[in-house]
Amino acid sequence: MDNLRSLKLRLPTPLGHNALDSATRSFDALRDVSLDCKQASLDDAIAFLRAISSPHLESVRLDHCECPTSSLATSLLEFCTVLHNKFRSTVRSISLSVTPIGSPIVFEHPLVKYLEPLLHIHELAEFRFAISRTSRNVSIPVPESNLVSIAESWPRLSHLGLNYDPADEPPTVWTISTFAWRCPSLTTLNLPCIDARDVAFASLDSPHPSLISFGIFDGGWDSLIPEPGNLAKFLKALFPKVVLEQPQLGAEQWTQTVECLEKLQAVVGS
């Protein structure tokens, strides 16, 4: 175990707490941990991370963590605090997906209030946070200022995924443009939704060089896209290499945006 660099495990582990603690403390070379928590809670996963002693951990992935809606905000902050306190000098990739259980809630504070410990890890390259599509019982405020704070804190981001139901106005195309330009290495961007009402008035100094994938969690259903053709033109100008993610049950406005962009790119490529 001393030389183990990559660990994939399904929680709960058959090991007892004492054996688990002893095992994780022997993972001195561990660089990447991936936990399937379909039968475990977010708190179980946090306890596992807290027990890891490796000073080299670069990547953390927790999938399908169950968590009561009543304690999700507290557990999310605890998750971020543990990663900052134990792995802030090495961690570069963080992925967390949660299956909330319980009555619908709206987070009291905006998202960055809970991510705050991680915002001090300025070398972070990948961050993904997702709420299960089947739950739809948690809404989180993410004002446009939050995206600016994330971009300022993580200028080396290559991948950002925020997939959940928003509790406030969608980010505008202006905000998306500002965010992308503060993260010049960004290749993949997934946001909860988008407000494209002012897209006809948006202007660009120059295109973003690296983004190749853009998607919206709501599939366009709650997004504000009155003119799909204009949004497609804007996205093509901002992200010349981009491919838009198309969910199976996307709204007509987003589907039209995807189709318009593909036609524009086909004309350029012919």
Residue 26 has a pLDDT of 59
DSSP state of 59: E
pLDDT attached to residue 15:
47
Identify the bridge partners of residue 59 per DSSP, sorted by sequence position.
32, 93
Which class for 250: exposed (0-12), middle (13-18), buried (19 or more C-beta within 10 A)?
buried
pLDDT of 156 higher than 90: yes
Residue 166 pLDDT grade (very low, low, confident, very high; cuts 50, 70, 90): confident
Longest dimension (CA), the chain: 64
Q: How confident is the model at residue 269 (pLDDT cuts 50, 70, 90)?
A: low
Per-residue pLDDT for 18 more than 70?
Answer: no
Mean pLDDT of 128-153: 89
| Fold that domain 1-168 belongs to in CATH | 3.80.10
In this predicted structure, what is the pLDDT of residue 3? 79
Domains of the chain: which residue ranges? 1-168, 181-270
Burial of residue 78, with CB atoms counted within 10 A of its CB: 0-12 exposed, 13-18 middle, 19 or more buried = middle
Please determine, for residue 1, whether its predicted confidence score (pLDDT) is greater than 80: no
Beta bridge partners of 129: 96, 162
32-81 pLDDT, tens digit per residue, is 999 999 889 999 999 999 999 899 999 999 999 999 999 999 999 999 99
Model pLDDT for residues 208-246, shown as the tens digit of each residue? 989 999 999 999 998 999 999 999 999 999 999 999 998
The model's pTM: 0.92
